[in-house]
Structure 1
Amino acid sequence: MDALDALREQLVIGLSGTDAHMSLEQAVAEFPDEAINERPPNVGYTSWHLVEHLRITQWDILEYIRDPAHVSPPWPVGYWPDPSAVATPAQFRASVEGFLADRRALEAIARDPDVDLLAPIPHAPVHTIARELIVLANHNSYHLGELAGLRQVMGTWGPGH
């Protein structure tokens, strides 16, 4: 395996949340429907808000990489649902599924030997695809750890967790 293949593998690992990190699948496993809109004390958002923030941010970076005409949402308000918004269980699952679909697309980009991960993005030459994937892996890891902490505070982990 050459260095670029190793980089591709490490980027996929970072995006997937394996190794020393928690994946979204682990963070939302057996998440109780009645808790998706719960606000723990001193927290200004719900677990669904956090999952939806992860989805929106990941979607934005995916589109930033692949679409020169993409316009990012306004920062920061466009990256979070309205603070008063509540989700149904189906909407929570849709946020999770949207995140997973976009993550698969990003993993495919990382794995594609025809994609130059280290070249400047043509429409954004100050960034590379590798940089964007690293930013996203770090962002996801941070907020998935936060989601795990919220679950602990809310008591929504199952027995033995």
Structure 2
Amino acid sequence: MNPGNETDKLIREQLVELLKGGFAPNVILLREFDYKKAGIILDGLHFSAWILLGHIRGRQLTLLKFMKDPENNLNVWPDAPWPENHIPENEQEWNDAVTKFEDELEEMIQLVKDPSTDLFSIRSNGKTISWAAMTSLHHTGYHIGQLKTIGRQLGVW
């Protein structure tokens, strides 16, 4: 047994678990959220659940592009995309956005799972694929926590 291969496998498995949301899977939380409440901005906040979803997707997509083609997508931390519209037009628009989030997340997961993906090669911007995956899971987790709090305040859960 090559311990390096076991460590690599373990790191990939753990990154995948955390990208999915760990004990609170992100896609399940998004699917459970009542789209009719997704446009409500609570007092003291500058965002709704819909805005958070758009922001999460925007950052995730930036990091996914880097992971797919690092040398042509070096700007991994551009200005944060915050959607201007705070409410989905209808349930279909909410569901489509969640599906796109899920599809993009799955692409990221497949890259992490692929043993031929070099997770630790330092790119010309000083970043690695593992950094992008960890940044995505951290950023998503932070905002999913906000979304969960909003949902609790609105009686979603």
TM-score tier by shorter-chain length is 0.7 to 0.9
**What's the % identity of the aligned pairs?**
23
- For residues 74-99 of structure 1, the C-alpha deviation after alignment (integer angstroms, 9 at most, x for no partner) is 513xx1101x4431222211211111
Mapped to 1, the partners of 2:68 and 2:30 lie a distance apart of 28
Q: Which runs of 5+ in 2 are unaligned?
A: none
**SS of corresponding position for 1:42:** coil
The structure with the greater share of residues assigned to strand is 1
* Residue in structure 2 matched with residue 151 of structure 1 by the alignment: 151
Structure 1 unmatched runs, 5+: none
Residue 115 to residue 96, structure 1, CA distance change in 2 (3 Å): same
Between the aligned partners of 1:85 and 1:152, the Cα distance in structure 2 is 18
Contact 1:23 1:144 in 2 (8 A): no
Shift of 1:69: 3.2
TM-score of the pair, normalised by structure 2: 0.86
Q: In 1, Cα distance between the equivalents of 2:55 and 2:65?
A: 15
* Counterpart contact for 1:118–1:128, Cα < 8 Å: yes
- Cα deviation, 1:46-89, whole Å, max 9, x if unaligned, reads 1111111111110110012223434668513xx1101x443122
In the other structure, the counterpart of 1:99 is 101
Q: Which runs of 4+ in 1 moved over 3 A?
A: 68-74
Within 2, Cα distance between the matches of 1:146 and 1:86? 16
- 1:16-95 maps to which residues of 2 (within 5 A)? 16-19=20-23, 22-67=24-69, 68-70=71-73, 74-76=78-80, 79-82=81-84, 84-88=85-89, 89-95=91-97
Tell me the equivalent position of 1:126. 126
SS of the residue corresponding to residue 156 of structure 1 reads coil
Residue identity in the other structure for 1:96: V
TM-score, with structure 1 as normaliser? 0.84
In structure 2, the residue matched to 1:108 is 110
Higher helix share goes to which structure? 2
